[in-house]
Structure 1
């Protein structure tokens, strides 16, 4: 049984006349008769009663018409769906992100993308950089926003943000009154850092900055999220060095000050697997690229 058989059947079932049905199908009557015969053989019963005066659906034909119409309708819907997915007008984009991206442009890119592509579904997952790399490589994510450019060769990436690190202090800390804080001033303080296992690049950057300032930090606490770093500092349990965009969190009890003499930049990247055919993802990447250019 083929879809062309079903289409021939449905037209004949409506017209109940081989001549008119053949005309609507842009074919001659003999091929139409053959198609109906082949369909009846495939179904295993007669679908039409026909003689020289009329064509009529059998009881089996009436029942078959309902199911045949549903099949043809579903096939047409599937064809339209496939075309829309191929055009990037419909689909899903699975996005991984490190927590700091919530303060580095990701929300505005998501709002813009959803406004322009309301029929594309967005799925968000907060993951550390290594988890995102693994998920991208195993087709569990379409796009990742991560804090490293040390990526497998199969992944492609673009830089999407580069801001300075700043000092994060409890509001009662003596250095909180300074306009800029020399990092060496914190050499005796306990540090709260983003876990080395979760983000080795960020961890190493902060350690290297402290070493350049003449000391090795006393790392007292390691946590898995940047907001957790701020929360621990706000409770007076240590100091930290964090990406500048985290100043916009409004965390009560935490004070942010520029580092005297500057320092390293906190870089984030957008990564994806280019060999995967993902039109919806490609549309999202265009929004990200446009957003990065206008920042």
Structure 2
């Protein structure tokens, strides 16, 4: 029996819905079904009754939930306390970032943080992938990450915004549309759009590609990419366009890609996010510092 089987069982008991459980666990519905079936085989009897409309616990399933849930909470709390003690003893703050422009903003914050917290080893450890920006945080490889907002995840805490930048269009240099001086949000309905990979939260992708434009026109995702470089390579090949943040143009110039202004979308906001279960005093202190400083604004407008 695996830990993931127990977690899936407990979440399904709360949600009573396979699709919602899959979304919350960041698994496919088929994987949720597989894990539940494996646990039922281990127990030797069904734990749920299933219908087209709902999922209910059997009597055995209800008793198992009542026994497991308090123990599960105790184990998670013990693990959290152990992780907090380890982080405190090590004086470590591992920071992830989305995009090199964001890393520069964080580096400036880290320099200020070191003045008041010299015993904490705060450092940038990795760049997260646009296709699954929250994965390193959930896996415990970073303590805090700076990514595009919004972030609406029940297991994560959102902190202050640290950067504000314009959204632009990345277009293939070979396309006749590359001659356009600027694009409008309504143009997105006519373009083959490549966007962040499917592991990214849907609402997060919709901040760059709304399902419906303000004029009522439907947009569509033509392709996805998990990294900036992969997306830009496909754009440069002449097939796709992408709404991106302005730092992409500054840090990823390419002869086969042109960048143009994009009117009609709100600026991109990048902010701090961390795990609710692994929150430490070092994370809180870094967030307080970030909140006390002006937002880095590259849009030419007033600060957010």
TM-score calculated relative to the size of structure 1:
0.55
Q: Equivalent residue for 2:261?
A: 258
Partners of 2:162 and 2:206 in 1: CA distance: 20
CA pair 107-125 structure 1, distance change in 2 beyond 3 A: same
Asked if structure 2 preserves the Cα contact closer than 8 Å seen for 1:165 and 1:259, the reply is yes
Asked if structure 1 preserves the Cα contact closer than 8 Å seen for 2:210 and 2:219, the reply is no
- Distance apart, 1:95 and its partner CA: 1.8
1:206-225 per-residue CA deviation (whole Å, 9 max, x = no partner) reads: 33265335543443320112
Partners of 2:219 and 2:194 in 1: CA distance: 10
1:123-175 per-residue CA deviation (whole Å, 9 max, x = no partner) reads: 5233334425534xxx6532122333313277352222333321111123333
Count of matched residue positions in the alignment of Structure 1 and Structure 2: 205
Asked if structure 2 preserves the Cα contact closer than 8 Å seen for 1:99 and 1:225, the reply is no
CA pair 293-238 structure 1, distance change in 2 beyond 3 A: closer
Mark the structure with the bigger radius of gyration: 1
After TM superposition, the structure 1 = structure 2 runs for residues 85-124 of structure 1, keeping only pairs within 5 Å, are 91-99=91-99, 102=102, 105-110=105-110, 112-113=112-113, 117=118, 120-122=121-123, 124=125
User: Structure 2: which 5+ residue stretches go unaligned?
Assistant: 1-86, 298-304
Q: Equivalent residue for 1:182?
A: 184
Higher helix share: 1
User: Structure 1: which 5+ residue stretches go unaligned?
Assistant: 1-84
Partners of 2:265 and 2:143 in 1: CA distance: 33
After TM superposition, the structure 1 = structure 2 runs for residues 13-52 of structure 1, keeping only pairs within 5 Å, are none
After TM superposition, the structure 1 = structure 2 runs for residues 140-179 of structure 1, keeping only pairs within 5 Å, are 141-147=142-148, 148-152=150-154, 155-179=157-181
Partners of 1:292 and 1:146 in 2: CA distance: 17
TM-score calculated relative to the size of structure 2:
0.54
Pairwise CA RMSD: 3.6
Matched, 1:232 2:239: no
Q: Matched residue of 1:216: which SS?
A: coil
